[in-house]
Chains A and B, each alone.
Chain A
Amino acid sequence: MNRLISYEKKDTFVHKLSGFTKLVFFLIWCLTSALTFDTRILAIMLVLGISIYLSAKIKWKQVSAIFTAVMFFMVINLTCIFFFAPYEGCRIYDSRSDLFHLFGNYTVTKQQLFYELNVLMKYFTVIPSVFIFLTTTDPSELASSLNGVGVPYKISYALEITLRYIPDIQDEFHRIRNAQEARGIEMSSKGKLLSRIKNTAAIIFPLLFSSMERIDVVSNAMELRGFGKKKTRTWYSRKKLTAADFAVLIFIVAFSAAALIFTYYDGSRFYNPFTI
């Protein structure tokens, strides 16, 4: 069963942390990465992120699909930045050193390359953190953590139950697709695009109907066992915060504060190597 991204149980420091800690870490980390454009901070985060990623012993096949997709998106993003704002770097760093002329109005500058390097580094600080969070957090613990940071439990549980049923729905999808293909509905790449889109309906509708049947059963089962009756609920899978959790939480808050102060104290969120 090939799933896009999957939790796998392992015995590492990161796995042992509470989902709450990882969620808070993840959110603050991404926020910091989004706010800062300071190359030195990004470099530190890059090294830190990759070392945590390695220490969590995540298997490449768990994340390769998503990684390829993100890389694809990143290349498009970087290319677009260049073609829509070829001199954004010069504007930001307030200087211009041409490297070579491309065509028309497009000239590659050191400043632009440096700016785009920063964007690339941002991608690479966020990517490992997403992977770490998703592959080391037990989905039910994730639900309890979300509830812990104030998300209503019905919404957190909806997330958990979605994860619970994804494999079932995938199986069902394959079964239905095979049966419909046997009836003559072309789903392989041989068919024309338009007819393929039309033919997807032949799978989506049965999938929808059989899933609705399932939803009916599940919601009755949940009601029969008291879900939604009370305003709060407890969580079997919630991990208690340990000393390690507190240490990590204190670290990330301190790190983020330091990084942001360092970034902003000269009034600009960019590190400028060109003026000096």
Chain B
Amino acid sequence: MEKTPIIEFSDVTFKYRVQEKPTLKNINLKIYPGEKILIAGQSGSGKSTLAHCLNALIPCSFTGEMSGTLRVDGKTPSELGVFGMSQIVGTVLQDTDGQFIALTVGEDIAFALENDNIPQDKIFDKVHEVAEKLDLQSFLNHAPGELSGGQKQRVSLGGVMACDVKILLFDEPLANLDPATGKRTIALIDEIMKREDMTVVIIEHRIEDVLYRDVDRVILMGDGEIIADMHPDELLCTGLLPQHGIREPLYIAALKAAGCELGADTHPQHIESMDVTKYKDQVKNWYHSVPKHQQQSSSETLLSVNNLSFGYEDGRQILKDVNFEIKRGEMISLVGRNGAGKSTLASLICGFYKPQSGNILFNGEDMSGFSIKEIGEKIGYVMQSPNQMISKPMIFDEVALGLTARGVPEDVIKEKVNDALKICGLYPFRNWPVSALSFGQKKRVSIASILVLSPELIILDEPTAGQDYSHYTEIMEFLVKLRDDMGKTIMMITHDMHLMLEYTDRTLVLTDGRLLMNALPSEVLTDENICDKAYLKKTSLYDLSLKCGIDTPSEFAARFIDHERAGRGGQS
């Protein structure tokens, strides 16, 4: 039976007006009604451009030259315009906060209907209908600030579903969510598309998380072209994903590391349902052949947090009796769901807030007497987005800012700034304006501007949020270098389970203001109970090791990560 495609690209080429070369090259792609398609690719591969063609942001908002034909539900997006297409394709943006336009949930779901001049009583009916489907009825009067990340995502979805769209387009839906919420989002998408009979297109580079539920096809983009258009079972058996800068699911990488030749007939799409009988022995042999994980630790305590509690004036208790130590030279991850108290803890360590009770010792010295500025010379804090920190137009001035403010002599400033720029690989750009840099380079500028103050501990808030695998690796390897070459101690607030597993020596798990666990990342991510409580997702290495009859999943995970690091040439 030959169905007619709901989306059809024929020879589509698109070049942005400001760019020399086309971003999309001769795209031919058919998507059929009811399919769930995952579009993967690293930044610059053209995956977002492809998506913008579907909702007509290209060519209506981002101008450029387009050739070839594109049909969506039998219509041409460029003719219908953004508004016309919004009735067919519902776009859920990455930034659910940005997509939440109105002041309450109900009003936000109604937003598109209001703009379409639908009478108020019909809007009410529709909002209730949609809210029911998404289980949002009791939240209709809530403001965005009162919702969790997952609820906001449901509101975004509700806002586009109110238009009775046929296609749902998700632009990196997992980027801002904690792992457990991300998993639930994927399940929700699956449920909605089946119940409402919709076609779903998901743009995402976090393949493993999307593959939590069945996907019909994965379109792998690279350099403006379609590299692969395959069933995930087949694609995972090839080496195409890592070749094009996409991270393979960890269990796939582990199987490959063990030397297994994967076949599509074992259904590698989900570890839960994958048939690993063929590979069992190979994995076991590999496990016993690689060296044991060596836990290295220095004995010198840099920071110690004792019986720390904090609450706001209005009585909300944010942190309760938190105790931990950080050793010099460690890389620590601080994890937990949104609102668990991670940022508050970081703010207390940096002296932005004063503890209600308990104390923080740095090098054995009580910090309570120091000002924010004085603490800033011992503990550096790097915000999530470099744009939140950069205030000078020129790179040199920006990095020098902290020293200038402290009245350091000019020649000392020059020397220190140049040193910091060299470490960060920015020395050749020292006289450039900040605006000429890429996001990753700006990130390094913001780190350099902290490094000049020579803090011993650096705290980073979500250092890799929204970055694809290659940028992620670039930033993380840089941080490892800071630790290894300069002896810095690093603490990262993160949602990224890979980051935590691959790069950190220890994980602090916060839940509802309490320190739930303080252990090796591989121990945390293989503990089902902790993962549930802290909204983490247990690593697929856990399932793989159990399925292969290895009953020490934490050690298996640790050995595999050591192996990976060694393979990348990094030091452990």
A-B contact count (CB 8 A): 164
Instruction: A101 to B227: give the CA distance in the assembly, Å.
Output: 94
**A7 nearest CB neighbor, chain B only:** B103
Tell whether B264 is near chain A: CB-to-CB under 8 Å: no
Tell whether B82 is near chain A: CB-to-CB under 8 Å: yes
Interface residues on B, range: 35 or more
Stretch at the interface among A17-25, A91-99, A118-126, A172-180: A172-180
Q: Which residues of A contact B417 (CB under 8 A)?
A: none
User: Contact: B372 with A178, CB < 8 Å?
Assistant: yes
Q: Which residues of A contact B277 (CB under 8 A)?
A: none
Chain B proximity of A100: nearest CB distance (Å): 48
**B404 nearest CB neighbor, chain A only:** A184
User: Contact: B112 with A182, CB < 8 Å?
Assistant: no
Interface mask (B126-158 → A, CB under 8 Å = 1, otherwise 0): 010000000000000100110000000000000
Given contacts A210-B385, A234-B118, contact A224 B453 (CB under 8 A): no
Q: Which residues of A contact B401 (CB under 8 A)?
A: 183-185, 202
User: Contact: B114 with A201, CB < 8 Å?
Assistant: no
Q: Is the interface of B mostly helix, strand, loop or mixed?
A: helix
User: Contact: A163 with B103, CB < 8 Å?
Assistant: yes
Interface mask (A224-249 → B, CB under 8 Å = 1, otherwise 0): 11111110111111100000000000
Tell whether B359 is near chain A: CB-to-CB under 8 Å: no
**B159 nearest CB neighbor, chain A only:** A225
User: Contact: A235 with B120, CB < 8 Å?
Assistant: yes
Tell whether A78 is near chain B: CB-to-CB under 8 Å: no
Given contacts A202-B401, A206-B391, A225-B115, contact A139 B103 (CB under 8 A): yes
Chain B proximity of A157: nearest CB distance (Å): 9
Instruction: A251 to B256: give the CA distance in the assembly, Å.
Output: 81
**A201 nearest CB neighbor, chain B only:** B391
Chain A proximity of B388: nearest CB distance (Å): 5
Tell whether A218 is near chain B: CB-to-CB under 8 Å: yes
Tell whether A220 is near chain B: CB-to-CB under 8 Å: yes
Tell whether B224 is near chain A: CB-to-CB under 8 Å: no
User: Contact: A226 with B112, CB < 8 Å?
Assistant: yes
Instruction: A123 to B150: give the CA distance in the assembly, Å.
Output: 47
Residue from A160, A163, A179, A227 within 8 A of B389 (CB atoms): A179
Q: Which residues of B contact A222 (CB under 8 A)?
A: 101
Interface residues on A, range: 35 or more
**A163 nearest CB neighbor, chain B only:** B103
Tell whether B117 is near chain A: CB-to-CB under 8 Å: yes
Tell whether A223 is near chain B: CB-to-CB under 8 Å: yes
Given contacts A178-B352, A226-B115, A234-B114, 7 further A-B contacts (CB under 8 A): A182-B372, A182-B379, A230-B115, A230-B116, A236-B111, A236-B120, A237-B107
Would you give 21 A-B contacts (Cβ < 8 Å), ordered by A? A160-B102, A164-B102, A180-B391, A181-B352, A182-B351, A182-B352, A182-B372, A183-B389, A183-B450, A183-B453, A184-B377, A221-B98, A222-B101, A224-B55, A224-B86, A225-B115, A225-B159, A229-B115, A230-B115, A236-B107, A236-B111
User: Using a CB–CB distance below 8 Å, which chain A residues touch chain B?
Assistant: 9, 138-140, 160-161, 163-164, 167-168, 172, 175-176, 178-186, 199, 201-203, 205-206, 209-210, 213-214, 217-218, 220-230, 232-238
User: Closest 9 CB pairs between A and B?
Assistant: A217-B98, A182-B376, A236-B110, A184-B405, A226-B115, A229-B83, A178-B352, A183-B402, A225-B112
